[in-house]
Amino acid sequence: MRRFVRPLVLTALAACCGAALAAPAVNDQPQGKLPRWAMPESYQLDFKVDPRQQDFSGTTTIKLKLEKAADHLWLHGRELKVSKVVITDAAGKTHEGKYVDVAPKEGVVRIDFGSQLAPQELSLAITYSASLNQQLQGLYKVSHEGQPYAMTQMEPISARFAFPGFDEPSFKTPFEVRLTIPNDEVGIANTKQVKEEAAGDGWKTLTFAKTQPLPTYLVAFGVGPWDVVKGPEISSTQYRAQPTELRGIAAKGEGHRMQHVLSETPSIVHTLEDYYGFGYPWDKLDLLAAPDFSAGAMENPGLVTFRDWLLLIDPDSPANYVRGSFNVTAHELAHQWTGDTVTMGWWDDLWLNEAFATWMQQKVTQKVHPEYRADLDRVRGAQGAMNGDSLVTTRKIRQPITGNGDIETAFDGITYQKGAAVLGMFEGYVGEPTFQKGMRAYIQEHKFGNATANDLVASIAKATDKGQDFQQAFKSFLNQPGVPYVQTQLSQEGGKTVLHLSQSRYLPLGSSGDAKSMWGVPMCVRYGTADGSKVSCELLDKAQGTMVLAGASNPTWVMPNANGSGYYRFAMAKDDLAKLGQQVDKLGDAEQLAYADAVYASFKHGDLNAADVLAALKPLTSSKTREVATAPLGSFNWIYRNVAQNDAERAKLAEWAKAAYLPRMQQLGYHRKPGEADTDSLMRDTLADQLALVVKVPEVRAELLKQGDAALKRKPDGRLDLAAADPDLLGIALGVAVQERGKSAVDALIAELPQTSDPAMRNAILGGLSEVEDPALATKVRDFALVKQVKVGEMAALLRGGRDTRAQRDASWDWSVANYDKIVERTGSFSGGQLPSLMGGGGCSKEEADRLQTFFKTRAKDVTGAERGLAQTSESSLLCAALKAKQETTTAGL
């Protein structure tokens, strides 16, 4: 879903035919959305595809309604070589048309009719050919073990590379797809295949059932020597009369590894149907493991596509793969309702797709796998989003779209995690059953159509009987950027315990932003009573407010974000924070995470020094809950990298981490135990990474080096023995080996990658290589990222490594500048929005921000979305520098 603009090839474009046709009299070229006076009603898409070739061809036939007299219409197409345009009018008369590539970069195209046509139904047939895309967008080509495949990724605006059409989400129509492919290949699409016919000369034509109304970005198909495996049938329910066929699709030879994911899928679908009271709406469900993919996964109705490692799972796969696989599958299946059945009207409401899928995925996971603690994932996701949302250069959830760059950069933590947290917060405020009632009404009202934020908020408001205040509060989080910052102060007044509240925008030290902002914050606070604690809630929709804490003990303590469910940060007087710190073990896990965030936020705000932070977070490190015990690592690592001035200070900090985590590491051991809880495997992974690669504890490194050496040993067939290491620790073990053994380890891994098809093993090799420290070897690893044996979607794993020190960042920067054109040429998968952070992320000085700005000054306009990525990466670097300077000039207290 993310990409660069390719350098344009301006040959063979423009006037293909009927050169004598006159251009239209009026220039009404759309600058944003297409006009609504030509409305598509259905598509017939014919493709002739052989993945072994470089090009494909097709004919797109669109039935449409012309709603005003016109001699042309507007639609989308990019890099299509059109040979013929035929317009058939309502009377059956054909007209030769002309395809005019008016804005090749945006993909806006004019079809000239040659004469004025009255309002009527038309059929428009466009015959063309195009290259199979090399950058993971539109109809693109990938290889697995030397065999080529062709598959699609249309979201957000890449359908126009695959076929001409009205490539905007509000044009929902049925599609009929026909694939003409070589006899020995398999073709799949959104719907069931209904016909197969011989097409001569070794070709066959497959016809697929007509779809429900879909936007262009959800059309999907694939061609290649795929393995197709049957999964368990998804049994019928009160919401769906017929059982649904479930299949797994993978590159040849990999299909047998899909059974685990397929076995989990029916329970996900049933949970979603129960919630929405609406049956799975398509005629089958295929999950496809893509050999190379730009995003994590894509929710195409009936044909959901994934990065292969998310689906190819074995019993001994790393625990984070198994969990990640479930979470992503639940996310994509949630989209079958929010996104696919009800689609956002325009990209400014992308959150209606993504925030809902993220929020709903957490609900499904909590139901089917409560041990995965999706409740804590939501809190952690929200806290990650709050870090990004503290920047002045952040987006709003509903950011106006001013160009294609805004569409591409909308797929970020604000849309997904902030959106999900805000939904969870208002769900908590109105109550789960009421919110569900509103959601069911929303799906029913807009099924197979489009919706906007107003539709959604109105549906929920109607279900709750809450009025304008509620709607305004909800919208205050959608339509303005930033994180509410609520100051709290306890006082005793006339025998009552009163909590005084005041709100502003959270801005870190050094920010140039304006703190004056106001939200409707549904605040819930927990406070101490004689026999435990109590929660009290109120909507804070003024700059100031008070809450009377009925039955509070005196003195009492307050946790201003009960259950961690609010999307806001809080600040308290130092004494109150200390009192809360003493109660921290009495708080629930989510509240302990909220406490950790409050400490981090105060540090970034400049109110606590580094030593205060470590003291305040220490009690969390002994929690039995993995997410809580590891919550201090974010703050710790920032301090370790940026505050420690010398080896002595670093050693002292390393002691802190060792005291906090080494006993747990030793207790877990360095190998997965038979039948152990997956949370133990995940903890082992996190602690090994922290202790071996961040603070470099010798005894932990020695254990991992043993595993790394074993994995690098050659087997009789000459291949590395990667299975010799613990599957959860393989990448870390290889990382330690790369640092300790240097060239021999780097060379062995570079030679092994092309021979390895297992995606988990590939990721571990890439992860190990990215830990390289020797400057010459680091250059070698970066150069390797540009060769074709590293998949386009894998490049970032190599290029984002090695950013801890200024010297490493300088080396990474110099290499990126020297290889900029090659990166841009290769990486359709990184959007321009990610390019600045890929090159200059992790910076902590004005010089780093400046050189990034200077470099992109002339280049940003050529890579879609780069402006926002540039602004955010530079701002992060400056904020880091400001806090670092404060810790240096005052006292970090280390």
Cα distance between residue 318 and residue 479, in whole Å:
40
Residue 820's nearest CA partner among 805, 807, 832, 803 is 832
Q: What minimum distance in Å lies between the beta carbon of 79 and Zn ion?
A: 26
Question: By rule CB under 5 A, what string of x and - marks binding of each residue 304-343 to Zn ion?
Answer: ----------------------------------------
- How many C-beta atoms surround the C-beta of residue 229 within 10 A? 17
Question: Please, which residue, 281 or 735, has the CB nearer to Zn ion?
Answer: 281
Binding-site size for Zn ion (CB under 5 A) equals: 2
Question: Please, which residue, 135 or 327, has the CB nearer to Zn ion?
Answer: 327
Q: What is the CA angle 482-487-489, rounded to 5?
A: 170
Question: By rule CB under 5 A, what string of x and - marks binding of each residue 598-617 to Zn ion?
Answer: --------------------
Question: Please, which residue, 357 or 705, has the CB nearer to Zn ion?
Answer: 357
- How many C-beta atoms surround the C-beta of residue 853 within 10 A? 17
Q: What minimum distance in Å lies between the beta carbon of 333 and Zn ion?
A: 10
| Residue 170 CB burial class (10 angstroms; 0-12, 13-18, ≥19) | middle
Among the listed ranges 351-359, 450-458, 555-563, 770-778, the one in contact with Zn ion (CB under 5 A) is 351-359
Among the listed ranges 355-363, 500-508, 811-819, 838-846, the one in contact with Zn ion (CB under 5 A) is 355-363
Question: Does residue 85 bind Zn ion (CB under 5 A)?
Answer: no
Among the listed ranges 231-239, 284-292, 347-355, 868-876, the one in contact with Zn ion (CB under 5 A) is 347-355
Tokens of 142: 């990938």
Among the listed ranges 1-9, 23-31, 352-360, 442-450, the one in contact with Zn ion (CB under 5 A) is 352-360
Alpha helix locations (H) across 527-632?
574-582, 589-605, 610-617, 626-629
Question: Could you give the C-alpha distances from 584 to 575, 594, 607, 660, 813, in angstroms and in order?
Answer: 14, 10, 20, 17, 43
Q: What minimum distance in Å lies between the beta carbon of 766 and Zn ion?
A: 24
Question: Could you give the C-alpha distances from 839 to 99, 781, 799, 810, 833, in angstroms and in order?
Answer: 39, 15, 8, 10, 11
Among the listed ranges 38-46, 163-171, 354-362, 538-546, the one in contact with Zn ion (CB under 5 A) is 354-362
- How many C-beta atoms surround the C-beta of residue 66 within 10 A? 21
Question: Please, which residue, 175 or 411, has the CB nearer to Zn ion?
Answer: 411
Q: What minimum distance in Å lies between the beta carbon of 358 and Zn ion?
A: 7
Q: What minimum distance in Å lies between the beta carbon of 247 and Zn ion?
A: 21
Question: By rule CB under 5 A, what string of x and - marks binding of each residue 511-550 to Zn ion?
Answer: ----------------------------------------
Q: What minimum distance in Å lies between the beta carbon of 356 and Zn ion?
A: 9
Sign of CA dihedral 109, 115, 121, 123: negative
Q: What minimum distance in Å lies between the beta carbon of 412 and Zn ion?
A: 12
Q: What is the dihedral of CA 277, 278, 280, 283, to 10 degrees?
A: 150
Place of tokens 């345009």: 85
Q: Which residue is nearest to Zn ion (CB)?
A: 357
Residue 130 contacts residue 86 (beta carbons within 8 Å): no
Q: What minimum distance in Å lies between the beta carbon of 357 and Zn ion?
A: 4
Cα distance between residue 295 and residue 834, in whole Å:
12
Sign of CA dihedral 477, 479, 482, 488: negative
Question: Please, which residue, 227 or 308, has the CB nearer to Zn ion?
Answer: 308
Residues 645-684 that bind Zn ion (CB under 5 A): none
Rg (CA), the chain: 28
Place of tokens 């049925």: 174
Among the listed ranges 349-357, 715-723, 798-806, 873-881, the one in contact with Zn ion (CB under 5 A) is 349-357
Cα distance between residue 557 and residue 678, in whole Å:
35
Among the listed ranges 168-176, 356-364, 406-414, 714-722, the one in contact with Zn ion (CB under 5 A) is 356-364
Q: What minimum distance in Å lies between the beta carbon of 12 and Zn ion?
A: 36
3-state secondary structure of 537: strand
Residue 538 contacts residue 503 (beta carbons within 8 Å): no
Question: Please, which residue, 361 or 609, has the CB nearer to Zn ion?
Answer: 361
3-state secondary structure of 208: strand
Question: Please, which residue, 215 or 560, has the CB nearer to Zn ion?
Answer: 215
Question: Could you give the C-alpha distances from 131 to 4, 57, 445, 879, in angstroms and in order?
Answer: 17, 9, 41, 44
Q: What minimum distance in Å lies between the beta carbon of 335 and Zn ion?
A: 5
Among the listed ranges 256-264, 346-354, 407-415, 705-713, the one in contact with Zn ion (CB under 5 A) is 346-354
Among the listed ranges 81-89, 226-234, 357-365, 834-842, the one in contact with Zn ion (CB under 5 A) is 357-365
Question: Does residue 357 bind Zn ion (CB under 5 A)?
Answer: yes
Residue 188 contacts residue 249 (beta carbons within 8 Å): yes
Residues 34-53 that bind Zn ion (CB under 5 A): none
Question: Please, which residue, 122 or 357, has the CB nearer to Zn ion?
Answer: 357
Q: What minimum distance in Å lies between the beta carbon of 170 and Zn ion?
A: 19
Question: Please, which residue, 384 or 634, has the CB nearer to Zn ion?
Answer: 384
Question: Please, which residue, 47 or 346, has the CB nearer to Zn ion?
Answer: 346
Question: Please, which residue, 111 or 352, has the CB nearer to Zn ion?
Answer: 352
Question: Could you give the C-alpha distances from 810 to 502, 638, 814, 827, 849, in angstroms and in order?
Answer: 43, 19, 6, 22, 12
Q: What minimum distance in Å lies between the beta carbon of 339 and Zn ion?
A: 7
Tokens of 821: 């054109």
Cα distance between residue 80 and residue 86, in whole Å:
16
Cα distance between residue 794 and residue 474, in whole Å:
39
Q: What minimum distance in Å lies between the beta carbon of 763 and Zn ion?
A: 21
Question: Please, which residue, 357 or 478, has the CB nearer to Zn ion?
Answer: 357
Tokens of 433: 């059953």
Q: What minimum distance in Å lies between the beta carbon of 299 and Zn ion?
A: 6
Binding residues vs Zn ion (CB under 5 A): 354, 357
